[in-house]
Amino acid sequence: MKIVVCVKHVAVLGDEIRFTTDERDVDEDYYDRTLNEWDACAAEEALRIRERLGGEGEVLVVTVGGPSADVALQRCLAMGADRAVRISFDQTVHDPIAIGHALSEAIVPEQPDLVLVGVQSSDSVQGSTGTALAQFLDLPRVAVVKKVEYDHATRRATCHRELEGGLVDVVEVDTPAVLAIQTGINEPRYPTFRAIKDAERKEISLVSAAGGAVSGYHVRRMFVPPKPEGAEMLDGGPADVARRIAEIVKERLA
């Protein structure tokens, strides 16, 4: 049993936003990074699927990113993944088609039984990488999965796909398949301090790729959107703000 999990080290912007000189992206010096929430759930689910099968097999984590993305991989290694691969692009790329393609090249030789990804990354919200990846791998896929029951004997998985309004579509999928995991499926484990320290010493394999090999879009420019017209910021301390809120509520409900 081999499960590949694709993860992203997402950007978390603070309250100061600066753009690169070509204005086509945010300057990396102005944000922090963390393991994408959806991907933490995907990694956890991979570990649980393996545990349910008696603990046999391998969990491999893959990311596309610069050296700092090793932190996201190490987090997954500390959670219990066995091996990590980082695909390094020659440029920053957000395009899910490009990312899906690069991931597929690293995953093909692995011949996994399952590939788990997060539904989306919190910083780009494209909901597309997993489905693009499935196409490049020529595998079936299920997007927005809140429950997985994998049957290794029949090589099938029953998935609960969460639709709008919380409605569940129960889907049976042939595997190998790509499953895009939704939050709430599990609560990702917190690795111990010891496991984190051990993970830092594990080797991460590096693959280089050309960022623009295939693509869906090209970013022309990024900017901070103007605040909507008529919006009003309430000044003062908490007591002043509370008083104004009370007034507004009274007025609107009258």
Partner 1 sequence: MNGTLVVAEHLRGELRDVTFELVAAAAEIGGPVSVAVIARDPSLFTDALSVEGVDEIVTVQAEAEEFENDVYQQVIEALIEDRGPGFVLLGFTVNGMGYGPAVAAKLGLGFASDVFRLSREEDGLLARRAFYGAKVHAEVDFPGKERVLLMLRPGAWAPAEGRGDPTITDLSVQVTAPRARHLKLVDPPAGDVDITAADFLLSIGRGIGTREEIPRFEALAGKMGATLSVSRPLVDAGWMTNARQVGQSGKTVRPKVYLALGISGAVQHLAGIKGDGTIIAVNTDPEAAIFGVARYGAVVDLFEVAEALAELFA
Ligand X SMILES: Cc1cc2nc3c(=O)[nH]c(=O)nc-3n(C[C@H](O)[C@H](O)[C@H](O)COP(=O)(O)OP(=O)(O)OC[C@H]3O[C@@H](n4cnc5c(N)ncnc54)[C@H](O)[C@@H]3O)c2cc1C
Subset of residues 106 to 145 that bind partner 1, contact rule: CB under 8 A: 119, 122-129, 131-132, 134-136, 140-144
Using the rule CB under 6 A, is 120 a contact of ligand X?
yes
Give the H or E element holding residue 141. Answer: strand 141-151
Query: Which CB sits closer to ligand X, 184 or 212?
Result: 184
Least CB distance to ligand X at residue 39 (A): 12
Residue 50, binding choice from partner 1, ligand X, none, Cβ under 5 to 8 Å by partner class: none
* By CB under 8 A, residue 88 contacts partner 1: no
The single residue among 47, 119, 134, 199 that binds ligand X, judged by CB under 6 A, is 119
Residues of 181-219 as b/e, b for ≥16 C-beta within 10 angstroms?
A: bbbebbebeebeeebeeebeeeebeeeebebeeeeeeee
Residue 142 and residue 159: Cα distance in Å, rounded?
8
Angstrom distance (rounded) from CA 228 to CA 219: 24
Q: Is 81 in the site for ligand X (CB under 6 A)?
A: no
Structure tokens at 135: 């196409």
CA separation for the pair 17, 21 (Å, rounded): 13
Q: How far is the CB of 229 from ligand X (least distance, A)?
A: 22
Q: Which of 108, 172, 197, 207 binds partner 1 (CB under 8 A)?
A: 172
- In 3D, which of 32, 30, 9 has the Cα closest to residue 87? 9
Check binding of 167 to partner 1 (CB under 8 A). yes
Applying the rule CB under 8 A, the residues between 52 and 81 that interact with partner 1 are none
Let me know: does 78 contact 70? Beta carbons within 8 Å.
no
Angle between helix 193-200 and helix 70-79 axes, rounded to 10 deg: 130
Sole binder of partner 1 in the list 51, 151, 187, 200 (CB under 8 A): 187
Q: Which of 62, 73, 97, 117 binds partner 1 (CB under 8 A)?
A: 97
Q: Among candidates 8, 35, 9, 37, which has minimal Cα distance to 182?
A: 37
- The residue (of 106 and 134) whose beta carbon lies closer to partner 1 is 134
Going residue by residue from 121 to 160, which x/- string records binding to ligand X, judged by CB under 6 A? -----------------------x----------------
155 touches partner 1 by CB under 8 A: no
**Nearest to ligand X of 210, 242 (CB atom):** 242
Closest chain position to ligand X (CB): 119
CA 196 to CA 140: how far, in whole Å? 34
Instruction: List residues near ligand X by CB under 6 A.
Output: 119-120, 144
